Amino acid sequence: MIVVASIKNELTKLLANYEIEIIWIDDKQPIPGSYWGEPEAGIISNRLYIRNDTPLHSALHESCHYICMDSERRAALDTDTGGDYDEENAVCFLQIILSRQITAIGEFSLCDDMDEWGYTFRLGSAQKWFEEDASDALGWLHQHNILNNDLTPTWEIRH
């Protein structure tokens, strides 16, 4: 499992593009806003709460919910990101795309972590879903101006 301790600077720089502020929590302390409980990331407003042992996929997933949710939900965001089926798929797709921005990681390692954690996809793995069955998620991200046609981030959040 990839933990955020190994990529602090890159993760901070990446999420700053979306005005997401990382709040580092001391080891073994409770993580505010964590829907799944420690060591999973927590989110309240535009603040992402993580510890050194927080899995990268969790930090990216909560951040991608912030990026993908509408402004009304974002204004009230505290722990439970909500969202529908289409948004959840878009979040999963975007977190894989954003993992490409972290030099030492990459999408295949992140997909392995997603599988290990228990994400479920029709084709049996995150990577296979991403490569063969995620056109609806990609369309959603294009529709909301979150990804460019070349699969690079626009660095915009959903409005």
Half-sphere exposure of 121 (CA within 13 A, CB side): 25
End-to-end CA distance of the chain: 33
Domain positions in the chain? 4-75, 85-143
Cα–Cα distance between 123 and 156 in angstroms, integer? 30
Residues 60-103: tens digit of each pLDDT:
999 999 999 999 999 999 999 999 999 999 999 999 999 999 98
pTM of the predicted model over 0.85: yes
Which 8-state DSSP code applies to residue 78? B
Q: 3-state DSSP call for residue 159?
A: coil
Question: pLDDT-based confidence at 139, cuts 50/70/90?
Answer: very high
Cα–Cα distance between 50 and 52 in angstroms, integer? 7
Kind plus residue range of the DSSP H or E element containing 14: helix 8-16
Kind plus residue range of the DSSP H or E element containing 50: strand 47-50
